[in-house]
Structure 1
Amino acid sequence: MNNSYLLLFLSIFFGILIGKIKIKNFKLGSSGSLFSGLILGWYSTSLYSSNMEIMNKLNSDFKQFFLFSLILFISSVGLIASKDLDKIIKKYGLKFLIMAFFITFVGFISTYIFSKFGNKYEFVGLYSGALTSSPGLATALETAPNFEKEIISGYTFGYIPGVLAVILSMYIFPYIFKVNIEDEKSKLKEIMQIEKDKEEGFDFLAYSLIIIIGILIGNINFDFNYISFKLGITGGVLLSSLFLGRLGKIWIFDFRMNKKILKTIQELGLLMFLSSVGLKSGDINLNAQTASLMFYSFIIAIISIVLGVIIGKYILKINWIILSGAICGGMTSTPGLGAAIDANDSEEVAIGYGATYPFALLGMVIFNKILILII
């Protein structure tokens, strides 16, 4: 149990089995790997907690699995969704901006209220954890470097409940809000006038270029006076795959990829990603204090999602397939995106995610700075 590859594929194996369990119309699907990863991560930690060499090696490997799988998943999702990008942006453009800032603002207000019940700087970290935002965490650490320990602690205990809140909502909310997914898919098809898929090949040269450009974009530091942020690997690769995929063929690079191959890469990336998130989060030390932080994180996430759904569905009138992606983008949640694609059986979810995500990152940066000033 100290072999990281064995743990990874055990997590994927058991996660798929868990995901197949169906209770009425509900099943976890690919998200089962997150739960199997958490269990195996906890078990391996309990076995080797006294051996720092093994623990450091496992954590290092899990981080690499996390980054690599993130690239596979995001790039394939972006390429699949790219052909319909311009039609959706034209119809819903401004609404994505509203969704991004509304969701991050609701999370900010909720965190501020709950911060009265605990360590204030732990709640600063909890805000970024509940909305699963690494750039938000980086902003908080940069703004309040003297409280690094408390901020990281809040983020660590807030992250998993934040992920779980988004994943569960993607499966459960269609029933709560009485959404007919098949009807929504049909309406979206009419809006986008989706053409029949063509049988394209798979250009590894172009695929590599998409990832290279995406990583470079993700490392660009956008600096606006007192506000600075990076899109990170997720944002950079998503943008490059969406826009290059939309352009099609440029010189010797063919960015139009075979959908069946892309869906296989997407599924592998998602299973690896969720498993690695679970495995590297398995060392959480659960006690009364950490349990309360996790509870607050889950509540903050749920409030942000519920109000986001209400605004998006009933006021902005966004199609559910696109809205579910926008919710995940507003929560900056890649695992949530995977759950939304799985729950809706539609890659078009990624368009809402891709259009909302950059604005949500900016919102997290702004509201983190404000939170530290007023807390």
Structure 2
Amino acid sequence: MLNNPIFLIFLSIFLGLTIGKIKIFKFKLGVSGTLFTGLILSWLSSRHLTSVPTSLINGLNSYFKFSLILFVSSIGLIAGKDIKKTFKIYGLKFILLGFIITSTGFLLIFLTSFITNFDNFHLLGLFSGALTSSPGLATALENFPNNSKIIFGYSIGYVPGVLAVIFSTYIIPVIFKNNSKKEFENFSRKDFKISEQNPYYFDFLGYSLIVILGLIIGNIKINVKIFDFSLGITGGILISSLFFGSIEKIWIFNFKFNKQILKIIQNFGLLLFLSTVGLKSGYYVINALSFDAFLLMILSFVIAMISITVGLLFGKFIFKINTLILTGSITGGMTSTPGLAAAIDSTNSEEVILGYGATYPFALIGMVIFNKILSYLFLSY
């Protein structure tokens, strides 16, 4: 059974979700527990196998790519429904905020590569870990398939990144003690509501078209001076799903997918992604734990806090965003679902979801773009 990728994937999902439910104070791993159980299972399996079978590696790679398609397409389709509305009501505020937070993390990682001796691949993974972005990790691994150092950086940086987001959600309401509930009255909750369709409706014809065109877009090579650039699976699928998600129907293709079904696909894709990532690299990651790993954890927390602080300053004093909405926007800019749960708890209000939903898709796009840029910058020197 140690050679069976399906068995190992679902075992890591089962164990990961079980561990993810354990709550310590305000923190729990949630679905991210799947990554860590995958790492442990991989490490344990490697101790009983003289060599990792090629069939197992190929199987995990296939499921990894399939998980990207499910995860990214569902995110894009959900976000695509609100993009026009966000532009119309709030202009560029949430768009800029998503890019400001992710670009701050990008610049800090890039500067760190010059002033420290950390491995660039560790830092590339740490970028996605500190900003708690699974799609960011997916983009990095597309550029460097099966790179265990990237997964190590992400794994080391993820928990400090989540802790930074959770910490900030409890600090923001304390710093800004204005009457957020009264201030929120200037915002319209109904503006963000999405009309629900038939709860069982899902057009597989339209979905297949989105995936096909996304894969074609992702494989287009763009020559830019010193390197060839392509969007890959992540970027291509994201663009395709965002575009078609913003429209309802073309000819015989219906793109008005039910949101709850998309959420299920998103969660399943994320579980597949995290488990395969862990299973592919557990032996290296666990055996690479050292004092440098501890320093990387501290670095991750610092990068996360600086990125959050910059986003907070822009959001509050330049964009004048309501405190409740801003709290959610920070978690969206950090693409952190655990952070959103903490924000709801700290503010005792679900209005924070609006800020999260408005900022998240643009932070996601930012993570894809900046991971691509970092990858090529690290290759060039």
1:327 maps to which of 328, 334, 340:
334
Does 2:301 match 1:302? yes
Alignment-mate amino acid for residue 198 of structure 1:
E
Instruction: Give the structure 1 partner of residue 348 of structure 2.
Output: none
Instruction: Using structure 1 for the length normalisation, give the TM-score.
Output: 0.77
Compute the displacement of 1:42 (Å). 1.4
In structure 2, do the counterparts of structure 1 residues 43 and 269 end up closer, same or farther at CA, with 3 Å as the change threshold?
Answer: same
1:160 maps to which of 141, 155, 158:
155
Output the CA distance in 2 between the equivalents of 1:138 and 1:273. 12
Instruction: Give the structure 1 partner of residue 25 of structure 2.
Output: 24
**Alignment: residue pair count:** 345
Compute the displacement of 1:169 (Å). 4.2
Task: Decide which moves more: 270-279 or 291-300.
Answer: 291-300
The answer to whether the 8 Å contact 2:72/2:266 transfers is: yes
Q: Deviations over 1:90-140 (max 9, x none)?
A: 33233444333322111111232222xx6xxxx22222121245766887x
Output the CA distance in 2 between the equivalents of 1:76 and 1:347. 19
Compute the displacement of 1:360 (Å). 4.4
Q: Gaps (5+ residues) in structure 2?
A: 129-136, 345-352
Instruction: Give the structure 2 partner of residue 149 of structure 1.
Output: none
Task: Decide which moves more: 363-372 or 214-223.
Answer: 363-372
Output the CA distance in 2 between the equivalents of 1:314 and 1:29. 29
The answer to whether the 8 Å contact 2:57/2:280 transfers is: yes
Alignment root-mean-square deviation, CA: 3.6
Alignment-mate amino acid for residue 362 of structure 2:
A
Structure 1 residues 1-375: aligned runs within 5 Å: 1-2=1-2, 3-48=4-49, 50-53=50-53, 56-89=54-87, 90-92=91-93, 93-115=95-117, 123-132=119-128, 154-155=149-150, 157-178=152-173, 190=188, 193-200=191-198, 201-226=201-226, 228-284=228-284, 286=286, 291-317=290-316, 319-328=326-335, 339=338, 349=356, 352-364=359-371, 366=373
Output the CA distance in 2 between the equivalents of 1:65 and 1:343. 31
Instruction: Using structure 2 for the length normalisation, give the TM-score.
Output: 0.76
Compute the displacement of 1:311 (Å). 0.8
Output the CA distance in 1 between the equivalents of 2:102 and 2:285. 32
The answer to whether the 8 Å contact 1:102/1:308 transfers is: yes
Output the CA distance in 2 between the equivalents of 1:250 and 1:344. 39
Output the CA distance in 1 between the equivalents of 2:67 and 2:256. 21
Alignment-mate amino acid for residue 272 of structure 1:
L
Instruction: Give the structure 2 partner of residue 332 of structure 1.
Output: none
Specify the SS of the correspondent of 1:223: strand
Q: Gaps (5+ residues) in structure 1?
A: 142-151, 329-335
In structure 2, do the counterparts of structure 1 residues 343 and 249 end up closer, same or farther at CA, with 3 Å as the change threshold?
Answer: farther
In structure 2, do the counterparts of structure 1 residues 309 and 299 end up closer, same or farther at CA, with 3 Å as the change threshold?
Answer: same
Identical counterparts, % of pairs: 36
Output the CA distance in 1 between the equivalents of 2:6 and 2:292. 31
Alignment-mate amino acid for residue 312 of structure 1:
G
Compute the displacement of 1:362 (Å). 4.5
In structure 2, do the counterparts of structure 1 residues 295 and 173 end up closer, same or farther at CA, with 3 Å as the change threshold?
Answer: same
Alignment-mate amino acid for residue 103 of structure 1:
G
